[in-house]
Structure 1
């Protein structure tokens, strides 16, 4: 249990900045079909930006690394970071396109997303080393897969060498290199990514989260968290414990960004000293609050909203 007046978390995010376009549709278009959108939104996004903004909204100190290109979309980045309360010094400017993504959100809240990482993939080991002091000072370093393996591997190695924890959300999924997996403290995946991870480990059944965790732990991670949307989340721990976190009852409007909010909420709660049970509950509240609104940035919950939902399932 977290002690009263515990210090706020200090999080380092290996980011991605993406100009995120989303269209609200009745159903996703089929091949060759054009559909009318009920709403359209262009906002600052990307998994890394969402993670950083979500941690900041939860009153954590946040630093990190984002790369943007030299095109028109790059102009979205600095104002977005300032608006989110994030330091503009997180940005690295590179030649080439800024990351961009397109998402469809159906009436039921289901999503289909395509992302071009663009400049985000230019971050490398040298960039991580340049931020070595900030990584060493952070309680936890978080990464996702809209950036390069090289920058993640180096940053995670620096964090672990300093006795700090790391959290990886490997989305969009690609096989996780051993150098990254061995330096990952907490692996947070959704159902689809869990299946891909099981295949990488040679397991026939991704639904057995306990078995997946047992196969994973010898490779480095100390915890496996699998998010299941409306079915909640499961966490496997090395002592054999399997924790079950039910989902909060909300009407899903747009699930884009819900997984990022969950991961941010989990990271912040653990860094603040919450035990696993309460940390999962706070993470689930973060995801539910985002899923209940259209768009991501404005839906990222403030700390008091998470407090209210975890206390009685309501909103402030």
Structure 2
């Protein structure tokens, strides 16, 4: 079984289904509600576990009821939470999320600004069986430490660049970087993702990509290449990018080439988009394999 060590944010999400996004300061009625775990690394770790991989999650939580629920939900999906640090007197991360009839979402999140940044408590080496590391940008010091562990162990270190990296060394330390369109724009200064990717990737020693949702994935292999997204009926895009990153990291841990890993990850993310409720829609391995077999 391939394993991935994940590091980053885990939250508790309150996901409301609405017909349209609110535009005025008045009362609105939700058509549905899902209370599920969330967060970039939290979602990715669950996606990895459901896809048949071993997964460890290093995250910072408060010693509160919300943190208890976050950890319990992760463990229920088979995620190893021994590296979840609990801090007394603070509040664990939470989000309120609106998902409209088109599947698009609006996110209001809160992370306690007093959460310690110190990463000295992280392990000095990766657990046995880890074949890749995945880190998000929410905790710069922790992400840098995790990616350095990947380098020392000689395994892929994937950076989920959904926001502009807070630490200048993060991008260079990762072996694989998958930016969001917004983060790539902020890093490159280019509005066009093709131009932005080419600007960032030229001269870089690592593998660089940008995820574009329905427009697929652009990645650099001496030139900009495109992997199209799968066409599905979208119900809820919440967590789809996180599922993509988890599946991509797992595929690398399984020693698949990048182009194949992109296709595998895009299938997992597409299936998730057909289901309401954030990461509760993350698929199992047999679902992804069946999905891909029908789209050769």
TM-score by length of 2: 0.91
Instruction: State the SS of the aligned residue for 1:188.
Output: strand
Question: Which residue does the alignment assign to 1:228?
Answer: 212
User: Is the contact made by 1:11 and 1:141 (CA closer than 8 Å) also made in structure 2?
Assistant: yes
What runs of 5+ residues in structure 1 fail to find an aligned partner?
A: 1-7
Residue 138 of structure 2 corresponds to residue 166 of structure 1: no
Whether the 8 Å CA contact 2:132–2:150 is kept in 1: the answer is: yes
Matched, 1:38 2:9: no
Is 2:63–2:87's contact at 8 Å kept on the other side of the alignment? yes
- In structure 1, the residue matched to 2:243 is 261
Give the distance between the partners of 1:20 and 1:112, measured in 2 at CA. Answer: 12
Is there any run of 5+ residues in structure 2 with no aligned partner, and where? none
2-structure distance, mates of 1:167, 1:88: 20
Distance 1:30 1:233 in 2: 32
| Equivalent-residue separation in structure 1 for 2:231 and 2:197 (angstroms) | 27
Which region of structure 1 is more displaced relative to structure 2, 262-271 or 241-250? 241-250
Q: Tell me the number of residue pairs that the alignment of Structure 1 and Structure 2 aligns.
A: 295
Of residues 167, 182, 185 in structure 1, which corresponds to 2:172?
Answer: 182
In the TM superposition, residue 121 of structure 1 has moved relative to its aligned partner by 4.6
Q: Greater helix percent: which structure?
A: 1
Give distance in 1, aligned partners of 2:105 and 2:131.
32
Q: Which whole-Å CA distance do the structure 2 matches of 1:309 and 1:279 have between them?
A: 15
- Counterpart residue number, 2:279: 297
1:219 deviates by 5.2
Shift of the 217–267 alpha-carbon distance from structure 1 to 2, 3 Å rule, reads farther
Q: What RMSD in Å do the two structures reach over aligned CA positions?
A: 2.2
Aligned residue in 1 for 2:132: 140
Of 53, 56, 62, the residue aligned with 2:49 is 56
Matched with 2:7 is: 14
Per-residue CA deviation, residues 105-131 of structure 1 (Å, 9 max, x unaligned), is 111011111222338953532022xx1
**Structure 2 SS opposite 1:132:** coil
1:1-316 to structure 2, matched below 5 A, reads 8-95=1-88, 96-118=90-112, 121-122=115-116, 124-128=118-122, 131-134=123-126, 138-146=130-138, 148-171=139-162, 173-199=163-189, 204-208=190-194, 212-216=197-201, 218=203, 220=205, 222-237=206-221, 240-313=222-295
Cα distance, 1:110–1:49 mapped onto 2, change above 3 Å: same
Q: Secondary structure at the match of 1:284?
A: helix
Does the C-alpha gap of structure 1 residues 121 and 282 become closer, same or farther in structure 2, counting only changes over 3 Å?
A: farther
TM-score where L is the length of structure 1: 0.86
Q: 2:156 & 2:265 partners in 1: Cα distance? A: 17
CA distance in 2, matches of 1:42, 1:169: 24
Deviation at 1:206, TM superposition (A): 3.3
Contact 1:168 1:188 in 2 (8 A): yes
